[in-house]
């Protein structure tokens, strides 16, 4: 009997996790049992992925930049990467605004339901408001200042400092290019070997992926708020998910038109990373798998993937930006506010800029949303309205973020002649 491929194992783990979670909600003490004995394994799985995120970026980016052997190639690749990322983000926000204005999900929220949700979740929004206030009080060039770390070892202690690590890795790689090749040969060989070790660690961690997503989904189900609140926010969730589906369709069309690859080729190649992104809600945690799938299964050469994908994990947040647009207008509708066209165009700019440099970790979208709400003059207490369904939607939008990263890596690779056929290797079968 042929063994199941990785993505089918992950899907099976997700399904069993949901079923187990639903069953445990019917058992006395079931929620506590899941939290004590199942949820920790999900956290261990996420932590193991986060563990190698920073080392992976350092090794992959330094290797990728140094492999270019020419700073002009780096400039060309970097310019194209940033332009495509910004364009897809603008498209995502625009789609979100069109859908939320057409469907009008906020108009279905009753006064009684709104008051109930604000009462239940207002305390949970406080931490996001405090973080957003700190960001608002910073100067106009604070983001640029934060880009350059004063201590790389301190910056590397947190995945939230990923842009700083990327800056150091690119800077280090440029330095490696500019010195005589024989002088940097030992350093380059070290990072080449270091990169291979990290990728092998990814292989080992992914053996536990089906069990990790089982634990994550089971704990999510037992900790979910009441069904009544989900029903009240159903149209909002449908609007967000519909927009995210449209984005994935756009990705597929772009890949088909510009790389001449079949839609099935793209989806089959990236699906395990999509499923992992859905389970973890973290682009950073999924990055090791995204890089493996893009290089081994989508044909993107490693020097391109190792440059484009780490940057995408921090600045390319198409799913998150779309969600912000929908959430902002939804909250305004729920409070009876009518946003002008100018304000909504401003939301496009604000959401696009806010997505650049945001932490590629769960919950970062909430902090970014506070800034968008503040720009549009929408009450920040409205965060409480969407808190009940934010976690499952976070899972969906992270999936789109990761898919967008893969799409852009293929476009950039194709534009510089670095997109070929996948390596002759069946990762799924080799690790079954």
What percent of the chain has a predicted confidence (pLDDT) above 70? 72
Comparing 116 with 87, which gets the higher pLDDT?
87
Q: What is the token pair recorded at 97?
A: 């605004």
- The whole-angstrom separation of Cα 418 and Cα 374 is 43
Residue keyed to tokens 């339901």:
113
pLDDT at 149 over 60: yes
Exposure string for 337-355, b = 16+ CB within 10 A, e = fewer: bebeeebbeebbebbbbbb
- The whole-angstrom separation of Cα 217 and Cα 278 is 10
Comparing 121 with 97, which gets the higher pLDDT?
97
pLDDT at 122 over 70: no
Name the class of domain 6-430: mainly alpha
pLDDT at 92 over 60: yes
- Tell me which residue of 280, 281, 293 sits closest to 203, measured CA to CA: 293
Structure confidence at residue 425 (pLDDT): 43
Angstrom distances, CA of residue 46 to CA of 37, 52, 282, 384: 16, 10, 9, 27
Comparing 54 with 248, which gets the higher pLDDT?
248
**180-205: pLDDT as tens digits:** 888 888 888 898 888 788 878 877 88
Give the pLDDT band of residue 112 (cuts 50, 70, 90). Answer: low
**262-287: pLDDT as tens digits:** 899 999 999 999 988 888 777 777 88
Under DSSP, the state recorded for 169 is: H
Determine phi and psi for 138, rounding to 5 degrees: -75, 160
Give the pLDDT band of residue 430 (cuts 50, 70, 90). Answer: very low
Helices (H) and strands (E) in the chain, counts: 22, 0
Model pTM?
0.65
- The whole-angstrom separation of Cα 191 and Cα 63 is 6
Residue 34 near residue 21 (C-beta atoms within 8 A) = yes
Q: Output the CA torsion 174→258→351→64 (10° steps).
A: -20
Comparing 341 with 379, which gets the higher pLDDT?
341
Chain centroid offset of residue 294 CA: 15
Arithmetic mean of pLDDT over the chain: 77
**3-36: pLDDT as tens digits:** 776 667 877 887 898 899 889 888 888 888 998 9
- The whole-angstrom separation of Cα 166 and Cα 178 is 18
Residue 350 near residue 372 (C-beta atoms within 8 A) = yes
């Amino acid at each position: 009997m042929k063994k199941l491929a990785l993505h089918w194992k992950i899907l099976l783990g997700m399904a069993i996790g949901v079923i187990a979670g639903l069953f445990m909600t019917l058992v006395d003490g079931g929620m506590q049992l899941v939290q004590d004995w199942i949820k920790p394994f999900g956290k261990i799985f996420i932590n193991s992925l986060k563990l190698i995120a920073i080392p992976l970026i350092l090794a992959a980016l330094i290797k990728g930049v140094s492999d270019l052997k020419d700073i002009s190639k780096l400039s060309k690749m970097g310019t194209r990467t940033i332009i495509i990322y910004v364009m897809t983000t603008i498209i995502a926000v625009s789609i979100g605004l069109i859908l939320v204005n057409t469907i009008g999900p906020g108009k279905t929220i009753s006064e009684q339901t709104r008051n109930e949700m604000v009462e239940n979740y207002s305390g949970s929004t406080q931490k996001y408001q405090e973080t957003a206030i700190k960001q608002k009080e910073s100067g106009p060039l604070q983001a640029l200042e934060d880009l350059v770390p004063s201590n790389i070892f301190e910056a590397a202690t947190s995945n939230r400092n990923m842009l700083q690590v990327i800056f150091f890795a690119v800077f280090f790689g440029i330095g490696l290019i500019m010195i005589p090749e024989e002088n940097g040969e030992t350093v380059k060989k070290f990072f080449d070997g270091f990169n291979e070790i990290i990728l092998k660690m990814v292989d080992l961690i992914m053996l536990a992926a089906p069990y990790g997503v089982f634990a994550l989904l089971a704990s999510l189900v037992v900790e979910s708020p009441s069904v009544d609140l989900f029903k009240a926010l159903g149209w909002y969730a449908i609007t967000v998910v519909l927009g995210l589906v449209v984005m994935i369709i756009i990705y597929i069309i772009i890949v088909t038109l510009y790389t001449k690859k079949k839609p099935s080729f793209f989806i089959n190649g990236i699906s395990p990373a999509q499923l992992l992104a859905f389970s973890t809600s973290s682009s950073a945690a999924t990055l090791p798998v995204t890089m493996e799938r893009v290089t081994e299964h989508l044909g993107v050469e490693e020097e391109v993937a190792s440059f484009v994908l780490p940057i995408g994990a921090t600045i390319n947040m198409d799913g998150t930006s779309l969600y912000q647009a929908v959430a902002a207008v939804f909250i305004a509708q729920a409070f009876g506010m009518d946003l002008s066209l100018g304000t909504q165009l401003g939301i496009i700019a604000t959401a696009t800029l806010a997505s650049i440099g945001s932490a590629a970790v769960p919950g970062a979208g909430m902090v970014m949303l506070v800034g968008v709400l503040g720009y549009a003059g929408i009450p920040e207490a409205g965060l409480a309205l969407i808190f009940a369904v934010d976690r499952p939607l976070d899972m969906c939008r992270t999936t789109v973020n990761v898919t967008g990263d893969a799409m852009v890596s293929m476009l950039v690779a194709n534009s510089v002649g670095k997109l070929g056929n996948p390596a002759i290797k069946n990762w799924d079968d080799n690790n079954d």
